[in-house]
């Protein structure tokens, strides 16, 4: 794993960004967390090269371009499709998980109040996919 791991969260909720950043800081002390407010903003940052993540966490419900739409666009781009994409959502219903995986998501982590559990999931997916 690289010295400074770059974790990219695509999520429109500022509070969720802050909580996620604190969890990443705790779970992965050598990681840097960067953000985009929706799928369009994320694609712009990726295509401009202003962010070069090792792994991307994607909220499903966002304005302008939701997480699934962003995932489709990400996987269409040869320069980006190799980046592990982890859906980060309040829902972990089987149909949603299946659809996300069919679209190219590596995994799904459920947003929840138990931050210790989420931190463990973050560590697990980073160890597995990065």
Summarize pLDDT for 71-96 with one digit per residue, the tens: 999 999 999 999 999 999 988 888 99
Determine the straight-line distance between the first and last CA of the chain, rounded to whole angstroms.
Answer: 7
In the numeric block, the tokens 């982890």 are attached to 86
pTM above 0.75, yes or no: yes
Residue 66 above 90 pLDDT?
Answer: yes
Tell me what the mean pLDDT of segment 122-130 comes to. Answer: 95
Of 122, 54, 71, 60, nearest in space to 93 by CA: 60
Please say whether the beta carbons of 90 and 62 come within 8 A: no
Structure tokens at 63: 């304005």
How many C-beta neighbours within 10 Å does residue 108 have? Answer: 23
**pLDDT given for residue 3 in this prediction:** 63
The fold of the 5-125 domain, in CATH, is: Rossmann fold (3.40.50)
């Amino acid at each position: 794993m690289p010295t400074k791991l770059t974790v990219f969260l695509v999520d429109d909720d500022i509070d969720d960004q802050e909580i996620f950043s604190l969890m990443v800081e705790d779970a992965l002390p050598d990681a840097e967390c960067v953000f985009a407010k929706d799928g369009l903003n994320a694609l712009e940052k990726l295509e401009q090269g202003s962010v070069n993540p090792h792994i991307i966490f994607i909220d499903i419900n966002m304005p302008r371009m939701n997480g699934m739409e962003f995932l489709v666009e990400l996987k269409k781009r040869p320069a980006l499709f190799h980046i592990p994409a982890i859906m980060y959502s309040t829902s972990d219903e089987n149909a949603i998980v299946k659809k996300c995986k069919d679209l190219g998501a590596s995994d799904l982590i459920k947003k929840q109040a138990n931050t210790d559990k989420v931190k463990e999931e973050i560590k697990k997916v980073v160890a597995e996919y990065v």
